Amino acid sequence: MIDCGKDWLRRVWDVAPTAIVLTHAHPDHAWGLADGAPCPVYATEATWALLDHLPIRDRRKMPRGKAISINGVKFKAVPIQHSIRAPAVGYRVSIGSRSFFYAPDIAGLPNRKRTLGGIQVFIGDGAVLTRSMVHMKAGQLIGHAPVTAQLDWCESAGVARAMFTHCGSGIVRGKARQLNVLVRRLGRMRGITAGLACDGDRLILAARPSA
Ligand SMILES: [Zn+2]
Ligand SMILES: [Zn+2]
């Protein structure tokens, strides 16, 4: 399970994941662990420093920029720009030769081509579609890059598919179907199959066995 926001506070025990991996310490990503966790939790040192108050017993350190294997799935934490107070990472997740990159809150992505090169799917930040919510603070980008900017990153890195999750109120309260058509069109303009993620979506990452 990647991230556990406070709306998962009770439900995380029913989900009973084998491991939880955190992107950053914001409440909507980590405070679902306010009663502890049913499994080991992985986070960077910077994220753990902000989660001292949570009764999580099995705390594991996630290195930055170096892949580790958790139950046969490789996770590589890549530092991204989003918040100064709660430093965030995105995850390049690989199973065999197939990979996706997951960054639910992202303002800027350094080393785009290296980070996204060779992935099958980009799963990004759905806070805003076209309007930028990025600000500059202390020489760093903070906030949320619009979907259009993230699609540009995907295009320049040759990523064929993009999904957007963690959608902002404009999308959640808006007309989901129409907005999804818009995201699909924004993707198509860049040669990318794009769409908004919905609860319950399943993504088949493994290559199909050849007939
Ligand atoms: Zn955040
Ligand atoms: Zn968030």
Q: Are residues 168 and 75 in the same domain?
A: yes
Distance 30 CA to ligand 2 centre (A): 10
Report yes or no: 75 and 99 within 8 Å, Cβ to Cβ: no
The pair of structure tokens assigned to 120 is: 């099958």
Among 39, 62, 85, give the residue marking a domain's end. 62
In a domain, 206, yes or no: no
Q: Are residues 72 and 112 in the same domain?
A: yes
Identity of the residue numbered 56: I
Q: By C-alpha distance, which of 27, 31, 24, 89 is closest to 56?
A: 31
Domain carrying residue 142: 67-200
Please tell me the predicted confidence (pLDDT) of residue 186.
Answer: 98
Distance 104 CA to ligand 2 centre (A): 6
Q: Are residues 86 and 134 in the same domain?
A: yes
The ligand with the least distance to the CA atom of 104 is 2
Distance 1 CA to ligand 1 centre (A): 17
Alpha-carbon distance 143 to 123, whole Å? 17
Distance 113 CA to ligand 1 centre (A): 23
Q: Are residues 1 and 103 in the same domain?
A: no
Distance 26 CA to ligand 2 centre (A): 7
Based on the structure, what is the number of domains in the chain?
2
Report yes or no: 122 and 101 within 8 Å, Cβ to Cβ: yes
C-alpha distance across the termini of the chain, in Å = 32
Residue 207 has pLDDT above 70, yes or no: no
Distance 26 CA to ligand 1 centre (A): 5
In a domain, 207, yes or no: no
Please tell me the predicted confidence (pLDDT) of residue 70.
Answer: 98
Among 62, 82, 106, give the residue marking a domain's end. 62
Distance 209 CA to ligand 1 centre (A): 38
Residue 196 has pLDDT above 60, yes or no: yes
What pTM value is reported for the model?
0.95
Distance 122 CA to ligand 2 centre (A): 17
Q: 69: helix, coil or strand?
A: strand
Reported as a single tens digit per residue, the pLDDT across 154-180 is 999 999 999 999 998 878 888 888 999
φ/ψ bin of 207: left (φ > 0), alpha (ψ from -120 to 50), beta (otherwise): beta
Distance 189 CA to ligand 1 centre (A): 29
Alpha-carbon distance 137 to 131, whole Å? 18
Distance 107 CA to ligand 1 centre (A): 10
Q: Are residues 91 and 192 in the same domain?
A: yes
Q: Are residues 143 and 179 in the same domain?
A: yes
Q: Are residues 191 and 104 in the same domain?
A: yes
In a domain, 16, yes or no: yes
Alpha-carbon distance 89 to 5, whole Å? 16
Q: Are residues 126 and 81 in the same domain?
A: yes
Among 20, 45, 62, give the residue marking a domain's end. 62
Q: Are residues 90 and 2 in the same domain?
A: no
Distance 127 CA to ligand 2 centre (A): 8
In a domain, 170, yes or no: yes
Q: Are residues 52 and 96 in the same domain?
A: no
Reported as a single tens digit per residue, the pLDDT across 58-68 is 999 999 999 99
In a domain, 56, yes or no: yes
Q: Are residues 50 and 98 in the same domain?
A: no
Q: What is the CA radius of gyration of the chain?
A: 17
Report yes or no: 196 and 126 within 8 Å, Cβ to Cβ: yes
Q: How many helices (H) and strands (E) does the chain have?
A: 7, 12
Distances (CA, A) of 70 to 13, 75, 77, 126, 180: 19, 7, 13, 27, 33
